[in-house]
A = this chain, B = another copy of it.
Amino acid sequence: MSRQPTPPQLLLENQLCFLFHRISRDLDAAYRPLLNELGLTYPQYLVMLVLWEQDGRSVGEIGQELCLDSGTLSPLLRRLQVRGLLERRRDPADERRVTLHLTRDGWALRRKARDIPESLGRKIVDDPAAYLQLHAQLTQIAERLEA
């Protein structure tokens, strides 16, 4: 039987990838109680961030911003629509496109979300300088992986 000891690179504790995987789930769990009060999941919250920043974007534009395809976004957007947070309209200029438009309730939710980012940020790193350093380093890693 091939029961040699496991080579060190196959040990879980040495793997950077698992740390990213794990932190991503930790963050999701940290967001959950806060977002529950807004009735949103984390990916739904991301879509709301994108629309709060610029309303009326299309499905494709949101997908590009969040690196998500229509298979993920279509049902997610339908749930936000059912909740009454946004409307979907066919773009008259290009009938293939569907644009999303926040409702009054969708805009109102922004006030309740205002304090979430800072609250979460503090859970990751305390020091603002470390925050910026890590942000820069991770941005570089993400872009490298997406290249």
By a beta-carbon cutoff of 8 Å, the part of chain A in contact with chain B is 1-3, 6-7, 9-12, 14-31, 42, 46, 49-50, 52-53, 65-67, 104, 107-108, 110-111, 113-114, 117-118, 120-121, 123-125, 131, 134-135, 137-139, 141-142, 144-146
15 contacts between A and B (CB under 8 A): A2-B107, A7-B114, A10-B49, A10-B114, A12-B65, A16-B125, A16-B134, A16-B138, A17-B124, A19-B139, A20-B138, A21-B46, A23-B145, A124-B144, A125-B141
Q: Which residue of B lies closest to A121 (CB)?
A: B16
Please determine whether A141 and B21 come into contact, CB atoms closer than 8 angstroms.
no
**This chain's copy number in the assembly:** 2
Q: Contacts A1-B104, A107-B2 given; indicate if A117 touches B50 (C-beta within 8 A).
A: no
**A110 touches which of B10, B31, B120, B142 (Cβ 8 Å):** B10
- A104: chain B residues within 8 A (beta carbon): 1
Q: Tell me if A's interface is mostly helix, strand, loop or mixed.
A: helix
Separation of A107 and B5 alpha carbons in the complex (Å)? 11
- A6: chain B residues within 8 A (beta carbon): 52-53, 110
**A49 touches which of B11, B20, B24, B28 (Cβ 8 Å):** B11
- A42: chain B residues within 8 A (beta carbon): 21
Please determine whether A20 and B17 come into contact, CB atoms closer than 8 angstroms.
no
Q: Which residue of B lies closest to A52 (CB)?
A: B6
